[in-house]
Amino acid sequence: MTRHSGKRTIAKADVTHRPAAINRDGRMAAVRIGTSGWHYDGWIGTFYPEKTPKKRLLEAYARHFSTTEINASFYRVPSEAAVASWAANAPDGFVFAWKASRFITHYKRLKDCEEPVRYVTGRMAPLGEKFGPVLWQLPPQQKPDHDRLGRFLDLLPKERRHAVEFRDPAWYEEATFRLLRDAGVSLCVSDHAHAPAPWEATAAHVYLRPHGPGGRYEGHYSNDGLADMADRIAGWTAESRDVFCYFDNDQKSCAPFDAQRLIGMVRERGVEVA
């Protein structure tokens, strides 16, 4: 994913602005844009109204966005009660993407993971119809091992959507993309400072994760940078791909405001955003 700072866009998308195409299941390609997490004290009084109770932050968030990415599930498998509470406090039609446990990605390193994968995906099942894509984020120390990646992808529940975020750029090669395509798993299109990803679509859905200009979780994207993302999203929907986008530049409330700006730009291109 090309990084953007200032007013100059490094690599513009070459797409024609067309309405979203019909998916294989007979519906329009869907676009959902939100942020990585919603529970940030620093957003109170900047994005959220002053004195918003912490227990009402998800409700306040859902007034603006139809999706979010759960990060807490990466650090600790949430309780069944917590998962049920998230589902109950989000409106109908809301979608939770979630980052899978680091036990699988950082400790097990994708090896011998059949039972842990079953456990963590089962724990999130109370999300019901709000169960969204699962993000598997690999550690920067994990070098390419296509045999191991292939075996891991075979374990993933086929009825769910999945994405893999690599933190070592050595993974960005055709052998990796082929495995993801064969499994129907999205490459996470991320602009993280250590491993910015190419704009490569490997599944019927695209998982986009902007980490901020320079990929360091801070700062607003330029208008040109967001316009390029909007062009890419319009192009993907024209190919019948659903798009899930989560801004992770959470410092100083940049993420929600950039997400709102991108929503507006995508709609200007004639593409509906949920």
Q: What is the pLDDT of residues 107-121, one digit of tens each?
A: 999 999 999 999 999
Closest CA to 19 of 243, 229, 235, 202: 235
The whole-number pLDDT of residue 25 equals: 57
In this predicted structure, the answer to whether residue 148 has a pLDDT above a threshold of 80 is yes
| DSSP states of 151-203 | HHHHHS-TTS-EEEE-SSGGG-SHHHHHHHHHHT-EEEEE--TT-PPP----S
Judge whether 198 and 172 are in contact, CB under 8 Å: yes
Which of 21-30, 59-68, 186-195, 229-238 is predicted with the least confidence, judged by mean pLDDT? Answer: 21-30
- Counting residues of the chain whose pLDDT is more than 70, the rounded percentage is 91
How high is the pLDDT of residue 17?
37
Identify residue 101 by its one-letter amino acid code.
Answer: S
- b/e code 134-170 from CB counts within 10 Å (16+ = b): bbbbbeeebeeeeeebbebbebbeeeebbbbbbbeee
8 Å CB contact between 132 and 244: yes
Is residue 2 within 8 A of residue 228, CB to CB? The reply is: yes
User: Which has the minimum average pLDDT: 25-34, 143-152, 249-258?
Assistant: 25-34
End-to-end Cα spacing for the chain = 23
How does residue 10 score in pLDDT terms, banded at 50, 70 and 90?
Answer: very low
Rounded to the nearest integer, the mean pLDDT of the chain is 92
Q: Given this model, what pLDDT does residue 202 score?
A: 99
Structural domains in the chain plus CATH codes: 31-268 (3.20.20.410)
Measured in whole angstroms, how far is the alpha carbon of residue 219 from the centre of its chain?
19
For residues 244 and 96, give the distance between their C-alpha atoms in angstroms, rounded to a whole number: 10
pTM to 2 decimal places? 0.91
User: Residue 238 to residues 15, 27, 30, 162, 232: CA-CA distances in angstroms?
Assistant: 9, 13, 11, 21, 10
CA distances from 86 to 62, 70, 98, 194, 253 (A): 11, 10, 12, 32, 22
Q: Is residue 5 very low, low, confident or very high in pLDDT (cuts 50, 70, 90)? A: very low
